[in-house]
Structure 1
Amino acid sequence: MKTDKIKVHFTDNDLVAPTNPIEVNLIGAGGTGSKVLTALVEMNYSLNELGHAGLSVRLWDDDIVTDANLGRQRFAECEVGLYKSVALINRANRWMGTNWKAETMKFGKDSLGRLPEHTQAAIYISCVDSVKARYEIAEILKELDSYRAYRNRAKYWMDYGNSQSTGQVLLSTIGNIKQPKSEKYETVANLPFITDEYGELLKQSEETDNTPSCSLAEALEKQDLYINSSLAQMGCSLLWSLFRQGMTKNKGFFHNLYNFTTQPIKVA
């Protein structure tokens, strides 16, 4: 009896066995981004211990730490008034002796349509709170896909998004990733952007109130205390599997913290 092959995506070879640390652009240092950075610190140390070159992270965010950020986001009272990206990167570098970088600006084009310096990376992780920001990132990544000469060519985009108690993470390829021949699996070279695959859903779910929260209590009305950390851990577990297993059968998941369910999104 003939059975259909399981669809999988094999990780780009340059990520599995790199000669230099993999460049990562982490976009957003709020509720999710601050937790993702901690997970990347752990991942980098573990990869190094396994003989891998590890990660080189650049964190983008122009926000300042306020009292409303304490508790739900990974900031201390002594960091109020600092740029979020600077506070987090300084802490990570002191903790692990890394030389990661902070950008105190939004990730995006300037008024003349130019990309900022250090835009190029192999992996992009977005933890942004608006559909508009996602579309802007998608536009930039499609443009970067044509930059073939760089060693750390743009290859993957992982997007995080959530509402009060639900969220999703989706892994995309930036262009096609060359796949090996396989008798056991059906290989998939291209994983579509969230803006292409779920564009209409994104627009329908756009929050109408994007005003900043003035207190932790107000912030918790918009996002549950543990939805960000829950998504961060599971999303980084997917990224970890790309390095350790060299392949994935899932390109993301839908997560509901209210009823404790998670639905994987299969590679298709």
Structure 2
Amino acid sequence: MRIVVCVKEVLDPAAVNNYALSGGLAMSADGRHPEVAAIPRLINGYDEQALEAALRLRDAGLDCRIVVVTIATEAASMLKQCAALGADEIVAIDPGSRELDAPGIATVLAAWVRSSGGADLILCGRQASDDDQGVVPLLLAENLGHAVTTLAREVSLADGALSVTRATPEGDEVVRGKLPAVVTVSNELGAPRFPTAKAKMAARKMSAEVVAIDSLGIDAAALTPSITLQRQFVPQIQGNCEFLSGSPAEIAKALMERIRAA
């Protein structure tokens, strides 16, 4: 079985938040992207959990080959981390100078999946921590004609059938279906594993397969963005904190008065 895990490299969300709260996050001259010289980049957290879901399937005895793919020009460090965690193959699709929107990214990933031999199961993070849209996996499934389910907290396979436990606001929901399928993985899956020192050493020798986007035979019109980023800005953050004093009963009464007034 071939499992494809789609990953994305993002700015460290904690570092971005810290810079924003301290007033040190500035936008570049084009007004569209933050100045990122001092902000580290890492694998999107939800995508790391998607890889963890694939590794757990293999741990459970599934005979599979795990392929990690990303669309990026410079993501060697992230892909080697995926290799250290247990990926059998790592692939980087070079977009060149193109700026892709969500439909464009899904189109490229679908074209690569088809050209590389297909996939029985595609795992993605529920969303990316930088734009929080979560639409690429759904578009990818539509493009490939695969079944899709979202917000997985557990993924299992038995007799060729897929079982996914979904984390919903109303509680867990179990869905079952046939492969091929696309599944988005949520943080309820649990903490991902850490690579061992031995695995990190072995991953250093592993090279990513680099695929030029022009080699995928995609019509240029299909890659023309329908949505373009115009501007990003850092909102003014203002915090007001008031401490209530007195006995517990007095504090509770004062708090309720403020809540009613609001």
TM-score range, shorter chain: 0.3 to 0.5
Bigger CA radius of gyration = 2
TM-score normalised to the size of structure 2?
A: 0.37
